[in-house]
C-alpha cells in the first residue's frame, strides 16, 4: 500500500507530460480554436474566485475546473445554476451538475450545460434583409466523470465530454477530455496544490444541409441541377492547463481564511495569472474575491473580456438542526470590459 501511494506522487508529472503534448506548437496558433463556451464557468461558487481555485475546488464546481475535486464530497451533491453572460447581451446559460460518491473513495459526476443565445433573423442571398423567419443557435456540452481519493491526500479524476454547436441545418460536434490532480498536506490539511488539463480532444467541423447549394449542371447539353457541398475548415477545442495552490488559515474551530493563486496556460490565447481569498464563517456563510490578469493582454483588442475583479458569496443552512444535509445559495459577479458584467446564481443541495 505504501508503494502504491508513492506512485501517486508521479501523477502530477504525468499530467504535465500530457499537457506538453497538448500545448506543443507556436504562438501563431493563437485565436484558431473554437468552442470557447467551454471556457465559461457556469458555477457561481468557483466563478466568484475567477476560476482560480484549481487547488481546492470540490463537488459539482469541480466538473468545470478540476475534475479531481469531485471526489471530495460527503455523499451526494446536486447543483442548478443560471448565468446572465455579459449582462445586456441577452445571453443566458443554464447548467445542471450531479456528483455521487461511489464506494469509500470514488465519485461519479455528470454535468449538463446549455447556452441560450436568443433568436436571430434568418437572412439569405435572396432575402438579405430577412424574410421574417428566425433561428436560434444551440450550444450544448455534456460531461461524465470519475474521480478517486487516496488516503485524503491525493485525488485524481478524468472526464469525458461531448460538445455540440448547431443551428437548424448545420452543426459541429467533438469529444474532449479533462484530467486533474489535487494534493493536500500540512498539519491541518491546510496546504493544497492542484493541476488540471482541460478540453483536449478531437477537432470540430461544421457539416449539414445548410452548407449545400444547388446550381445548374456545367454541361449545357442537359439541364439538371447539381447539389454542391462546401467543406468548412476544422478548428480545435480551447485547451488549457491550470496550476494552482492555496493555504488555509484556521480562525477558531470552524472559521477559515484561504489565500490562493493560479496560473493558466492557454494553447490558443494569452496566459492568465491571478489570486484571491475566501473567508468562510463555519458552514453557513462564505465571502470571496479575486483578481485575474492576462499576461501581455491589457489594452489590446484581443484581450479577454472578463479580466479584472470578481466576487461572490454563499449562504448555506441545514435542512434540520444537526443534519448533514444542506442547501446552499451561491452568487458571483465578474467585471467585464464591455456590457455590464457576468452574474452567476446557483442552488446546491448536499445530501
Q: What is the CATH number of the domain that holds 74?
A: 2.40.160.60
Task: Print the domain residue range for 188.
Answer: 2-197+237-350
pLDDT number for residue 333? 97
Assigned domain for 268 exists: yes
Which residues are CB-contacts of 272 (< 8 A; sequence separation ≥ 6)? 262, 263, 264, 266, 292, 293, 294, 295, 304, 307
C-alpha cell, 169: 441545418
Q: Are 77 and 180 in contact (CB under 8 A)?
A: no
Polymer length in residues for the chain: 351
Q: Does 99 reside within a domain?
A: yes
Local structure of residue 295 (DSSP, 8 states): T
Distance in angstroms (rounded) separating the CA atoms of residues 157 and 4: 17
60 falls within a domain: yes
Residue 171 lies in a domain: yes
Q: Could you tell me if 161 and 136 are in contact, meaning their C-beta atoms sit under 8 angstroms apart?
A: no
> Can you say whether residue 207 is alpha, beta or left, with left for phi > 0 and alpha for psi between -120 and 50 degrees?
beta
State the Cα–Cα distance between residues 282 and 62, nearest whole angstrom.
21
DSSP, collapsed to helix, strand or coil, labels residue 216 as strand
Spell out the per-residue pLDDT of the chain, length 351, in tens: 343 455 455 555 555 554 554 444 344 566 688 899 999 999 999 999 999 999 999 999 999 999 999 999 999 999 999 999 999 899 999 999 999 999 999 999 999 999 999 998 888 878 888 878 888 999 999 999 999 999 888 999 999 999 999 998 899 999 999 999 999 998 889 999 999 999 999 999 999 988 888 777 777 666 778 888 888 889 999 999 999 999 999 998 899 999 999 999 988 888 899 999 999 999 999 999 999 998 876 555 556 777 899 999 999 999 988 788 999 999 999 999 888 999 999 999 999
pTM of the model: 0.88
- How much is the CA Rg of the chain, to the nearest whole Å? 23
Under DSSP, the state recorded for 234 is P
Residue 258 lies in a domain: yes
In a domain, 31, yes or no: yes
Q: What is the predicted pLDDT for the residue at 297?
A: 61
Q: Note whether 188 and 239 are within 8 A (CB).
A: no
Q: What is the pLDDT of residue 133?
A: 87
Tell whether 206 is covered by a domain. no
Give the chain's largest Cα–Cα span.
Answer: 91
**211 is a domain residue:** no
Q: What's the CA gap between 93 and 86, in Å, rounded?
A: 11
Cα distance between residue 48 and residue 15, in whole Å: 26
Strand partners, 77: 99, 350
- Residue 185 has a CB neighbour count (10 Å cut-off) of 11
Tally of domains within the chain:
1
Amino acid at each position: 500500500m505504501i508503494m502504491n501511494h508513492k506512485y501517486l506522487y508521479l501523477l502530477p508529472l504525468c499530467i504535465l507530460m500530457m499537457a506538453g503534448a497538448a500545448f506543443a506548437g507556436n504562438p501563431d496558433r493563437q485565436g484558431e480554436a473554437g468552442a470557447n463556451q467551454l471556457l465559461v464557468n457556469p458555477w457561481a461558487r468557483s466563478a466568484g474566485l475567477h476560476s482560480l481555485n484549481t487547488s481546492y475546488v470540490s463537488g459539482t464546481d469541480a466538473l468545470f475546473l478540476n475534475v479531481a475535486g469531485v471526489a471530495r464530497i460527503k455523499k451526494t451533491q446536486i447543483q442548478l445554476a443560471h448565468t446572465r453572460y455579459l449582462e445586456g447581451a441577452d445571453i443566458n446559460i443554464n447548467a445542471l451538475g450531479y456528483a455521487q460518491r461511489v464506494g469509500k473513495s470514488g465519485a461519479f459526476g455528470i454535468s449538463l450545460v446549455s447556452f441560450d443565445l436568443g433568436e436571430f433573423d434568418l437572412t439569405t442571398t435572396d432575402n438579405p434583409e430577412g424574410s421574417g423567419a428566425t433561428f436560434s443557435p444551440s450550444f450544448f456540452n455534456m460531461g461524465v466523470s470519475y474521480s478517486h481519493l487516496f488516503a485524503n491526500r491525493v485525488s485524481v479524476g478524468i472526464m469525458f465530454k461531448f460538445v455540440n454547436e448547431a443551428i437548424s441545418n448545420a452543426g459541429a460536434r467533438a469529444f474532449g477530455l479533462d484530467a486533474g490532480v489535487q494534493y493536500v498536506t500540512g498539519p491541518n490539511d491546510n496546504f493544497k496544490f492542484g493541476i488540471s488539463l482541460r478540453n483536449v480532444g478531437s477537432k470540430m467541423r461544421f457539416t449539414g444541409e445548410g452548407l449545400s447549394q444547388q446550381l445548374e449542371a456545367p454541361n449545357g447539353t442537359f439541364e439538371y441541377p447539381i447539389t454542391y457541398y462546401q467543406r468548412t475548415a476544422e478548428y480545435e477545442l480551447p485547451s488549457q492547463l491550470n496550476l494552482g495552490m492555496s493555504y488555509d488559515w484556521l480562525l477558531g474551530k470552524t472559521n477559515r481564511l484561504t489565500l490562493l493563486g493560479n496560473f493558466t496556460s492557454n494553447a490558443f490565447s494569452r496566459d492568465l495569472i491571478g489570486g484571491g481569498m475566501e473567508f468562510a464563517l463555519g458552514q453557513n456563510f462564505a465571502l470571496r474575491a479575486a483578481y485575474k490578469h492576462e499576461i501581455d493582454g491589457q489594452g489590446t483588442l484581443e484581450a479577454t473580456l472578463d479580466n479584472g475583479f470578481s466576487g461572490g458569496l454563499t449562504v448555506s443552512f441545514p435542512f434540520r438542526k444537526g443534519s448533514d444535509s444542506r442547501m446552499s445559495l451561491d452568487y458571483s459577479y465578474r467585471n467585464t470590459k464591455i456590457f455590464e458584467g457576468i452574474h452567476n446564481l446557483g442552488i446546491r443541495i448536499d445530501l
